[in-house]
């Protein structure tokens, strides 16, 4: 389990102030625009940057009490973290096998073949997508109990993304106590496997909701100026106006479907919820 309690970190005008929790056996997604604080939160969670205040709990231990053995149970993919790019892939495998007893070379090799990762090429010559695949299967090769995945799908085509998500599902089936926190701009993928969603904006968590509830109960109502005045706004969370059309975000789709059947009411996706929360006005 991960627990982040009132974590604070400032960089100039930017201030991170976040609280979240990822239960064992769950995959939590962190979404937000660029610069919202996702990578900063991940680095603070891993102890890669100092924090100004707050608390991080991993494996029921405070971050300062996490030891080397504990860290070998953590699989990490960071967008801006790289290996020695002058090494060939096969050389990184040798290094990882020598440094980390938990590294499963057979697992790595099996999935590297499936993802067409060439063993005899230097990392710097590989495509962005191949590097992403390399990072993910490296993280999974420790059979970790905590996965911290920052933009793991960058550059991957749909087949590779599907393969990676299947690997994550397989890992969760084999190690059901694992906690996963993941960020991605490809929100369609998150809809298929994340249990819950945290939306971060300007360093603050502004929404936490189960994915199923977002997909089942959230909706966008589209209405004109005249009808807008007649709609009960009790369950409207955010709204936007464009070309005299009002877009209303609600988490009570069934209420509006039953009471305003003459209005256009559409199911939402994560990217729409993100956009409405960040760009929309509070009703």
Q: Taking all residues of the chain, what is their mean pLDDT, rounded to a whole number?
A: 93
**More confident site: 12 or 196:** 196
pLDDT digits (tens, 9 = 90+) for 111-141: 999 999 999 999 999 999 999 999 999 999 9
Q: Report the SS3 class of residue 148.
A: strand
Q: Are 220 and 247 in contact (CB under 8 A)?
A: yes
Is the predicted pLDDT of residue 283 greater than 70, yes or no?
A: no
- Residue 131, number of CB atoms within 10 A of its CB: 19
- Residue 24, number of CB atoms within 10 A of its CB: 14
**What is the enclosing helix (H) or strand (E) of 15?**
strand 14-22
- Confidence at residue 75, expressed as pLDDT on a 0 to 100 scale: 94
Burial status of residue 232 (CB atoms within 10 A of its CB: 0-12, 13-18, 19 or more)? exposed
Full set of structural domains in the chain with CATH = 2-210 (3.40.50.300), 218-282 (no CATH)
- Residue 168 to residue 162: CA distance in whole angstroms: 10
Among 166, 170, 169, 164, CA closest to 151: 164
**What is the enclosing helix (H) or strand (E) of 192?**
helix 187-193
Among 276, 237, 258, 208, CA closest to 22: 208
pLDDT digits (tens, 9 = 90+) for 177-217: 999 999 998 888 899 889 999 999 999 999 999 999 999 99
């Amino acid at each position: 389990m991960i627990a982040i309690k009132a974590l604070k970190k400032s960089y100039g005008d930017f201030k991170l102030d976040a609280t979240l929790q990822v239960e064992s056996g769950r995959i939590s997604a962190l979404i937000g625009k660029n610069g919202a604080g996702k990578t900063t939160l991940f680095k603070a969670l891993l102890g890669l940057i100092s924090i100004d205040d707050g608390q991080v709990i991993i494996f029921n231990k405070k971050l300062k009490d996490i030891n080397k053995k504990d860290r070998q149970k953590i699989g990490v993919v960071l967008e801006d973290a790289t290996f020695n790019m002058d090494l060939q892939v096969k050389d990184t495998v040798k290094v990882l096998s020598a440094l980390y007893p938990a590294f499963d070379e057979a697992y790595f090799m099996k999935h590297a073949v499936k993802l067409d990762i060439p063993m005899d090429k230097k990392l710097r010559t590989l495509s962005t997508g191949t590097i992403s695949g390399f990072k993910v299967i490296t993280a999974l090769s420790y059979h970790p109990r905590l996965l911290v995945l920052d933009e793991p799908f960058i550059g991957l085509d749909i087949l590779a993304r599907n393969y990676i998500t299947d690997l994550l599902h397989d890992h969760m089936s084999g190690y059901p106590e694992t906690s996963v926190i993941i960020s991605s701009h490809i929100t369609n993928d998150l809809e298929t496997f994340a249990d819950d969603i945290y939306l971060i904006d300007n360093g603050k968590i502004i929404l936490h909701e189960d994915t199923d509830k977002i997909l089942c109960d959230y909706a966008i109502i589209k209405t004109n100026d005249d009808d807008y005045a007649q709609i009960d706004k009790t369950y409207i969370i955010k709204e936007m106006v464009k070309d005299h059309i009002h877009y209303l975000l609600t988490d009570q789709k069934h209420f509006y479907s039953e009471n305003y059947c003459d209005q256009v009411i559409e199911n939402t996706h994560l990217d729409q919820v993100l956009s409405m929360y960040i760009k929309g006005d509070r009703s």
